[in-house]
C-alpha cells in the first residue's frame, strides 16, 4: 500500500511538473517568429498582437485606420502600420514587403481584418454584400497573396484566418456577413490544399460573438456571459501559430465559450 501511494505521489508530482513546464515554456516556440496581423488595431487584432509579442514574437499590426499613438496599450516592441487598404493589391504588397523587411522575414500571417453589417436579403441595400465581401474575404485573399513570397521563404510557416460560427449557420439579417465568412472558411480549405507541399499550414478559428466594446455598444441588451473574450481567442490563434499544431492544416475550430471556460483551464 505504501509503495502504491508512493507511486501515485510520484505520478502526481510528474504531472504537476509537466503542467508547470508547459505553462512556463508555452512562449518559447514564438521567440524566433515574425508575425503580421491584419485588422491589427481592433480589439481582437491587438489582443493577438499583444499575446504573440509577450510570447517573444516579432509582431507587426496592419490596419486600415490610423496607427495607435505611441504609448497606446500595446507592447513597446510591436510595430504598427496604419492607412493600409488591404483590398488594394498594390498597397498590400507594399505593406507586407515593408513589414517583412522590418521583422527580418515572415513566419506567419493572421487575417483578422473584417467587419459586420446586418442586412436582410429583402432589404433595399445591396452594398452590404459588396462591403462584407470586401472587408471579410477580399482582404484575406489579397493579404495572403502579398504574404506568400515571404512565407514560402520559411521552412515552416502559418496562416490563420478568423472566420465566424455564422459561416456554418446563419440567422435573419446575417446573409451577407455569413456568406463572406463562409468564403473565408472555404479559402482556408483551398489554401491548405494548395500549400500543403510547401510547408505552410493554413487554419481558421470560428468564434461566436466576440466580447468587444463595439459589440457591447451595438447590442446593449444582450446576455454577454457566453461571449468569447478576445484574449481567449488569441490563445487559440497562438496554438495554430506554434509547433504543437504542426500536424494540423485545413482545420476550422469553433471557439464559443465565454469566461466560464476558465473553470476548465485549472
Q: What is the pLDDT of residues 38-71, one digit of tens each?
A: 999 999 999 999 999 999 999 999 999 999 876 5
Q: Is the pLDDT of residue 12 over 50?
A: no
pLDDT tens column, 131-163? 999 999 999 999 999 999 999 999 899 999 999
Residues with catalytic function: 177
Which pLDDT band holds residue 265 (cuts at 50, 70, 90)?
Answer: low
Residue 26 pLDDT:
39
Look up cell 446563419; give the residue: 170
| Domain limits, the chain | 1-29, 31-265
* CATH number assigned to the domain with residue range 31-265, chosen from the 4 options 3.40.50.800, 1.20.1090.10, 3.40.1790.10, 3.40.50.720: 3.40.50.720
DSSP codes, 160-228? EEE--GGGT---TT-HHHHHHHHHHHHHHHHHHHHHGGGTEEEEEEEESSEE-HHHHHH-TTS--TTPE
Cβ(82)–Cβ(57) below 8 Å: no
How far, rounded to the nearest angstrom, does the alpha carbon of residue 117 sit from its chain's CA centroid?
Answer: 20
> Is the CB of residue 246 less than 8 Å from the CB of residue 200?
no
Record the pTM. Answer: 0.85
| CA-wise closest residue to 204 among 257, 251, 266, 146 | 251
According to the model, what pLDDT value does residue 260 have? 63
Could you read off the pLDDT of 202-232 as tens digits, one per residue? 999 999 988 888 888 888 888 788 899 999 9
Which residues touch 16 (CB under 8 Å, ≥6 apart)?
none
Task: List the one residue out of 165, 195, 192 whose CA is nearest residue 248.
Answer: 192
Amino acid at each position: 500500500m505504501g509503495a502504491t501511494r508512493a507511486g501515485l505521489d510520484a505520478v502526481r508530482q510528474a504531472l504537476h511538473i509537466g503542467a508547470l513546464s508547459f505553462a512556463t515554456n508555452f512562449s518559447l516556440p514564438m521567440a524566433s517568429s515574425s508575425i503580421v496581423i491584419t485588422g491589427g488595431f481592433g480589439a481582437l487584432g491587438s489582443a493577438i498582437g499583444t499575446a504573440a509579442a509577450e510570447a517573444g514574437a516579432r509582431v507587426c499590426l496592419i490596419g486600415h485606420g490610423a496607427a495607435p499613438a505611441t504609448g497606446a496599450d500595446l507592447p513597446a516592441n510591436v510595430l504598427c502600420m496604419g492607412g493600409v487598404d488591404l483590398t488594394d493589391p498594390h498597397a498590400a504588397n507594399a505593406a507586407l514587403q515593408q513589414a517583412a523587411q522590418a521583422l527580418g522575414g515572415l513566419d506567419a500571417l493572421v487575417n483578422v481584418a473584417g467587419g459586420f453589417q446586418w442586412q436582410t436579403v429583402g432589404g433595399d441595400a445591396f452594398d452590404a454584400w459588396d462591403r462584407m465581401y470586401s472587408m471579410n474575404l477580399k482582404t484575406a485573399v489579397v493579404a495572403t497573396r502579398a504574404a506568400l513570397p515571404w512565407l514560402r521563404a520559411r521552412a515552416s510557416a502559418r496562416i490563420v484566418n478568423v472566420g465566424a460560427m455564422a459561416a456554418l449557420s446563419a440567422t435573419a439579417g446575417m446573409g451577407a456577413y455569413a456568406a463572406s465568412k463562409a468564403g473565408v472558411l472555404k479559402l482556408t480549405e483551398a489554401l491548405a490544399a494548395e500549400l500543403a507541399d510547401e510547408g505552410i499550414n493554413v487554419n481558421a478559428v470560428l468564434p461566436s460573438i466576440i466580447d468587444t466594446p463595439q459589440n457591447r455598444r451595438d447590442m446593449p441588451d444582450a446576455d454577454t456571459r457566453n461571449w468569447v473574450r478576445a484574449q481567449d481567442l488569441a490563445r487559440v490563434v497562438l496554438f495554430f501559430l506554434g509547433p504543437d499544431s504542426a500536424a494540423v492544416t485545413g482545420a476550422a475550430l469553433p471557439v464559443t465559450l465565454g469566461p466560464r471556460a476558465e473553470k476548465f483551464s485549472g
